[in-house]
Amino acid sequence: MKELYVERVLGGLYGLLVGDAAGVPYEFKAPSELPRLDALELPPPPGWQPAHDTAPPGAWSDDGAQALCLLESLLEQGRLDLADFGHRLVDWYAHGHLAVEGKTFDVGAQTRKALTAIQRGVPAERAGLGGERDNGNGSLMRVLPLALWHRGSDDELARDAARQSLVTHAHPRSQVACAVYCLWARYTLHGQDDAWERAASTLRGLCVDRADWQAEARTVVRPGEVLGGHGSGYVVDSLHSARWALEEGSFVRVVQRAISLGDDTDTTACIAGGIAGLRFGYGAIPSRWLATLAGRPLVAPLEARLLTHLGLA
């Protein structure tokens, strides 16, 4: 049982990083411009022109770097400390902390504004933009390590997931998306076949005393609707695109299906890849993809500390 849990924890951590890295070369392309589904590989097919000229081959993007900043902060502080987390995000943005080869690329406009505000002295918990149009997927893409690290109740996990969103994406819609995603991840980690349905049900219960969450929960969860995939950067699209991709039966196919949606390919594949890693385990991630993943030395110490924190070392 312990071995299976380790498989799932590492699957989630590396699943998000591999998904992100696999999607990076294909970003900004329409679905019709992409190679066929089974050719969406890491690295990309010969002759493919990567989306980011400055990105090291096999590198994760802002998604993976921010996720590692969150994990590092949790392990260092022993709790969700928004001031510390915000500081680490600024260190990534300004100096390439936890970015592969220290190279920061593909920074979202909303995140850039929030981190610039922190640099000016705005407290991290008040730095995020909170308008209805400020619901990009930038806080959702990085939140999975919280679900891996967290040992509190479902209520505490959901509220912490929402709180970490405040640093860059403060609207309740983004907060709720992060909360339901972390619940989905937790139930998947524990082997629940109906993990999404359980997460949605738990979220509805948590909304009883949160008026600002109630309407947004309906927008985010979309009960009774079967949504297709859309590769946009809108947080609700990203969440449900991951659900759509996870209809596939293997880690590889989940990531390839996520990338096939085009546009924000790295983030869609990161969000889907994290859950797929939890579901299928570390061993389901192809060795050829893991071998291509750059920056492994950055992950190794965090991986070891996470397993020690969970009592799995």
Domain CATH code at residue 32: 1.10.4080.10
Question: pLDDT category, 72, cuts 50, 70, 90?
Answer: very high
Count of domains observed in the chain: 1
Report whether 210 contacts 199 (CB < 8 A): no
pLDDT digits (tens, 9 = 90+) for 179-222: 999 999 999 999 998 999 999 999 999 988 888 888 898 888 87
pLDDT score of 247: 95
pLDDT digits (tens, 9 = 90+) for 131-149: 999 999 999 999 999 999 9
Given a cut of 70, is residue 225 above it in pLDDT? no
Question: pLDDT category, 254, cuts 50, 70, 90?
Answer: very high
Half-sphere exposure of 7 (CA within 13 A, CB side): 14
Domain, as residue range, for 34: 2-309
**Which of 87, 64, 84 minimizes the C-alpha distance to 76?**
84
Report whether 267 contacts 238 (CB < 8 A): yes
Report whether 163 contacts 150 (CB < 8 A): no
| Residues β-bridged to residue 51 | none
Q: pLDDT: is 227 or 233 the higher one? A: 233
Report whether 105 contacts 54 (CB < 8 A): yes
Gyration radius from the chain CA atoms: 18
Is pTM beyond 0.95? Reply is yes
Given a cut of 70, is residue 227 above it in pLDDT? no
Give 241-250's long-range contacts (Cβ < 8 A, gap of 24+): 241/268, 241/271, 241/272, 242/268, 242/271, 242/272, 242/275, 243/196, 245/269, 245/272, 245/276, 246/272, 246/275, 246/276, 246/279, 250/280, 250/284
Q: Please state the rounded mean pLDDT for residues 238-244.
A: 95
Given a cut of 70, is residue 229 above it in pLDDT? yes
pLDDT score of 73: 98
**Which of 100, 117, 120, 99 minimizes the C-alpha distance to 109?**
117
Given a cut of 80, is residue 223 above it in pLDDT? no
